Structure 1
Amino acid sequence: MSATTVSETPGTDTRQRRRLGVPAVTVLIIAASAPLTVIAGGATTAYSVTGSIAVPIGYIVLAVVLAIFSIGYAAMSRFITNAGAFAAYAAQGLGRPVGVGVSLIALVAYSCMQIGIWGMFGFQVSTLLAEKFGIDLPWWVGVIVFVVVVGILGVNRVDLSAKVLGVIVALEFIAVTVFDVVAFANPVEGFTADPISPASLLLPGIGAVLVFGIAAFMGFESAAIYGEEAKDPKRTVARATFAAVVIIGVFYALSSWALALAIGTDKISSGGITVEEAGPPLFFGFVAERLGLVMVDFMSLLFITSLFAALVSFHNAVARYLFSLGRDGVLPSGLASVRERSGAPWAGSIAQSISAVVVIVAFAIAGTGSELGPLFPVVTLFSWLTNTGALGLVLLMAVVSLAVIGFFRRDARDVGVGSRLIAPIIAFLALATVLVLIVANFNVLLDQAESNALTFVLPGLIVAAGIAGAVWALVLRVRRPEVYARIGRGAEQASAEHLG
């Protein structure tokens, strides 16, 4: 494997890495959100747990909040191009200790999202093999096999991943659109626009609706991670981010509205969804009744590929954060190694794959003989880690909103007051509110009747990562000032050294 370490040879021709246009980055973003997974899994669970019909209008509200966040985020992306994305923004807007704290939070959050999704992926694969072929395969076997597949994509050209994900995402959109058309044409209790009405925001449980809904957008902010691999980073990041927010927000609102019609709004609000129906069965039950078992099989397979697409996308995000931290010297410089031919951060990719295998093996051992049976990886690995990751990413976005203000405070750089001040303030207040709601409802997200130690330990991992990062930055300032000075400016530093 031909590779080079960027920290040692900053003159690596970055033009070899600039292969991504707006469509490719948008696909990578949407793949992380996993449209079919959100509708068949996330929206159905939100209806089951909250008993509120406001899920569709909740997606619209969250899309508006994230679009406002994107205004300042996009403005800052014109001046900072760094695979460390949030970490670089925080370092240059709020100071290096905050930047390193944010980088470790991002690393933990994205890792939790990626590794957690393996739990649902393993369950779905083992269930499909058992139902269709009579093969009784432990959930973790299929996971280990596909960790290798994702790892192979991770060390090759990123546009290859974009092409693979593009096909998967297109099929997801087609499948869900077919469901939408059938649901709108055949509502169980008659047609109603109540789920999309702003009046639904006043119904009880709206806080829990927003908490469940925000997870559907996780990954939308990842455009900046691919800035160093974009053909025109100053435009690509902004355009891809806004495109993803609009597409995701509108599609999820319409599709969850269709889902409400397929379930029945009276059934949702009256708490008539049974335990056996809750979650994906609400979606697939309607598909089986209206479209037949062949379509159920097809969509079940797409459900798995949807999870796979999200796994690839989050894997890429973790690999690039490791690359950025290695290049800055915050973590071992070997993590900044990239393949000469593809420009892919192979060291970060392999490190992410190894960490995923370690956690998966630990959960596989812990789940041996569990009373949860085959649901163990879903109830534990998937539920625990993805919700923790979502909490971390909302925290990151709130901090970045403040970083935008700090970045432009010293020099407005001809950016309007709306983009550099008003939008970030609104975004921070809204995201901080969502963050409080997540923390307050974390036991609900974990499907716990009452809070226990786990309710506090998992969010504590995010907080601990942030504190550890800030402390490590202060240590670097004393012991390795040259590394400290480079934090958050890795790409700029490499370019300056090459030109010099």
Structure 2
Amino acid sequence: MSHATRDTVAGALAKDRLGIASVLFFVSSAAAPLTVVGAGVIIAFAVIGIIGIPVAYLAVAVVLALFAVGFVTMSRHIVNAGAFYTYVTHGLGRPSGVATAMVALLAYNAMQIGLYGGVGVILDQFMSDRYGWPFAWWAYALLVWAFVAVLGLLRVDVNGRVLAVLLLSEVAIVLVYDAVMISNPAEGQVSFAALAPQHIVTAGFGAALVTAITGFVGFEGTVVYSEETKDPRRTVRRATYIAVAATGLLYALSAWAMSVATGPERIVDAAREHDTDLIFHLVSPHLGSSLVTMGQVLIITSLIAALLAFHHTVARYAFALGRERVLPAVFSRTNPRTGAPKVGSLAQSTLAATVIIGVAAISDDPIVHLFFWGTVSGGAGVLILMTVTSIGVLGFFIRDRRDESLWRARIAPLIAALALVGILAATVADFDALLGVDPDSPLRWAFLGAYGVAALIGVVWAMVLRATKPNIYDKIGLGANVNTGQRAAADTVTQPA
């Protein structure tokens, strides 16, 4: 092979590199907790106009915990970096699986690339205000892009250590800010009004759920790293549950702390007045300027950590699809020294650079046209993926329960699927408001329609493979066993065609 000295066509990614902590750092970094607390929570208060935002985060955490029951139970039987794609393949059939793969590639690329608009503008503003270095947003975005591109080619455990430092720092500063806000309540009295359960039945709570679920995007990535973990069965399960619980509690605590500091009756007005500066406005009278500045810096690193985490997710999806020849085989190449999915990583970096340069050339508002639209549409795509995967998990266990309990194999996946369908319906209904466009704007349907087109392409391609390359079609979903043409005992399952 002409590239044998540089690349390896791999049947599996590097094994035994990641433990529970490393996987947890990857998936929690993708959620960008400080960015969610410092921006997402505040925007939710301001736009939706209700005080029950903390309850919305807790409710979403419960729904995703139910989703995780079937999700991690299936991971005990199927280990594949393709995650959603593989699970849907085994549950609903190969055409549905390939359609899911195309939606996943589009959604995660939209999330990852969209973040460059945010980090470029925020970094530009920070460097200009602090040091008088006013460069173009795209120059800072490309600087971060180079950092992510290089780390994407290194050993995954090296990236895990980088993300560990960034994530622990931002969580620590969030907890410090929360403690300050709770210890300095409005009018000297701590109020629990924002945590009242009755907010679930108030008008606007559906929109709050839609907004809240975007703060959890990335937790499902635990399965993406399953091939590289030391103990997939134990690591994936524990990392997933910890990620959902810790993230949900952190968001709810922070949203409630803000309501305590402003007073629950004034949190909406305060969010609208101060926008994303609200959290710094609330803590700055009680903290030294260095801790406030540290928080501003960590918002930037929070976005960088999320960029790196999503980059790895996209690269591993491409690797899994290349390994099974759903994408060209070149995507299955890995770096023999690091075990990283080399071609998938380089392809994602190339696409990201192209979009950054393209947006810089045609738009003067990267926050809206790249960051906001990219992350909102990407989040909607991941919600679609979770909904379909939950149905796929249910289908898998209906045909073969694998000695799993009724709760894990049927009841929890069914409840999760119904809840996710409801949240997805609310997302579609309010997508114009989420994008910030008029109800009759074609953009309302353009972004969602793109996922329909991607799914259709996937189904058609699967049909083409079945008709012209049945040997490849039959191996879809085999994962690391695809190069031998044999299924591992855990993967033996009668799939729908």
Output the CA distance in 2 between the equivalents of 1:396 and 1:492: 24
The answer as to whether partners of 2:65 and 2:244 remain within 8 angstroms in 1 is yes
Output the CA distance in 2 between the equivalents of 1:274 and 1:143: 27
Output the CA distance in 2 between the equivalents of 1:119 and 1:319: 20
Map residues 417-496 of structure 1 onto 2, 5 A cutoff.
Answer: 417-494=406-483
Output the CA distance in 1 between the equivalents of 2:283 and 2:339: 43
| Alignment partner, residue 281 of structure 1 | 277
Map residues 20-99 of structure 1 onto 2, 5 A cutoff.
Answer: 20-99=18-97
Output the CA distance in 2 between the equivalents of 1:492 and 1:235: 21
Output the CA distance in 2 between the equivalents of 1:39 and 1:275: 15
- Percent identity at matched positions? 41
| Alignment partner, residue 190 of structure 2 | 191
Map residues 116-195 of structure 1 onto 2, 5 A cutoff.
Answer: 116-189=114-187, 190-195=189-194
Residue 252 of structure 1: how far off its partner (Å): 1.1
Residue 266 of structure 1: how far off its partner (Å): 1.1
| Alignment partner, residue 383 of structure 2 | 394
Output the CA distance in 2 between the equivalents of 1:168 and 1:483: 41
Q: Given the alignment, which residue of 331, 335, 339 partners 1:343?
A: 339
SS in 2 for 1:486: coil
Output the CA distance in 1 between the equivalents of 2:54 and 2:94: 39
Tell me the alpha carbon deviations over residues 42-94 of structure 1, each in whole angstroms, 9 at most, x when there is no partner: 00100110111111111111001000011100110011110100000011110
Amino acid corresponding to residue 36 of structure 1 in structure 2: L
Tell me the alpha carbon deviations over residues 377-402 of structure 1, each in whole angstroms, 9 at most, x when there is no partner: 11221111111111111111111111
Map residues 269-418 of structure 1 onto 2, 5 A cutoff.
Answer: 269=268, 272-273=269-270, 275-278=272-275, 280-367=276-363, 370=364, 376-418=365-407
Amino acid corresponding to residue 68 of structure 1 in structure 2: L
Residue 498 of structure 1: how far off its partner (Å): 11
SS in 2 for 1:204: coil
| Alignment partner, residue 494 of structure 2 | none
Q: Given the alignment, which residue of 13, 16, 19 partners 2:17?
A: 19
SS in 1 for 2:482: helix
The answer as to whether partners of 2:181 and 2:283 remain within 8 angstroms in 1 is no
Query: For the structure 1 residues 274 and 57, does the alpha-carbon distance in structure 2 shift closer, same or farther, using more than 3 Å as the test?
Result: closer
Amino acid corresponding to residue 55 of structure 1 in structure 2: I
> How large is the Cα RMSD of the aligned pairs?
1.6
| Alignment partner, residue 3 of structure 1 | 7
Residue 294 of structure 1: how far off its partner (Å): 2.5
Residue 133 of structure 1: how far off its partner (Å): 1.2
The answer as to whether partners of 1:17 and 1:344 remain within 8 angstroms in 2 is no
SS in 1 for 2:134: coil
Output the CA distance in 2 between the equivalents of 1:72 and 1:344: 29
Amino acid corresponding to residue 90 of structure 2 in structure 1: Q
Amino acid corresponding to residue 449 of structure 2 in structure 1: G
The answer as to whether partners of 2:190 and 2:260 remain within 8 angstroms in 1 is yes
Tell me the alpha carbon deviations over residues 288-338 of structure 1, each in whole angstroms, 9 at most, x when there is no partner: 232243222111100000001100100000000000111111111101111
The answer as to whether partners of 2:314 and 2:348 remain within 8 angstroms in 1 is yes
Query: For the structure 1 residues 102 and 493, does the alpha-carbon distance in structure 2 shift closer, same or farther, using more than 3 Å as the test?
Result: same
Query: For the structure 1 residues 498 and 238, does the alpha-carbon distance in structure 2 shift closer, same or farther, using more than 3 Å as the test?
Result: closer
Residue 276 of structure 1: how far off its partner (Å): 4.9
The answer as to whether partners of 2:475 and 2:485 remain within 8 angstroms in 1 is no
Output the CA distance in 1 between the equivalents of 2:473 and 2:82: 15
Gaps of 5+ in 2: 489-497
Gaps of 5+ in 1: 371-375
Tell me the alpha carbon deviations over residues 147-188 of structure 1, each in whole angstroms, 9 at most, x when there is no partner: 111111111111111100001111111100110111001123
Map residues 206-217 of structure 1 onto 2, 5 A cutoff.
Answer: 206-217=205-216
SS in 2 for 1:52: coil
| Alignment partner, residue 373 of structure 1 | none
Output the CA distance in 1 between the equivalents of 2:422 and 2:232: 31
The answer as to whether partners of 1:113 and 1:389 remain within 8 angstroms in 2 is yes
Output the CA distance in 2 between the equivalents of 1:55 and 1:264: 14
The answer as to whether partners of 1:287 and 1:295 remain within 8 angstroms in 2 is no
The answer as to whether partners of 2:478 and 2:487 remain within 8 angstroms in 1 is no
Residue 264 of structure 1: how far off its partner (Å): 2.9
Query: For the structure 1 residues 63 and 459, does the alpha-carbon distance in structure 2 shift closer, same or farther, using more than 3 Å as the test?
Result: same
Query: For the structure 1 residues 41 and 274, does the alpha-carbon distance in structure 2 shift closer, same or farther, using more than 3 Å as the test?
Result: closer
Output the CA distance in 2 between the equivalents of 1:354 and 1:467: 25
Output the CA distance in 1 between the equivalents of 2:296 and 2:106: 30
Residue 263 of structure 1: how far off its partner (Å): 3.2
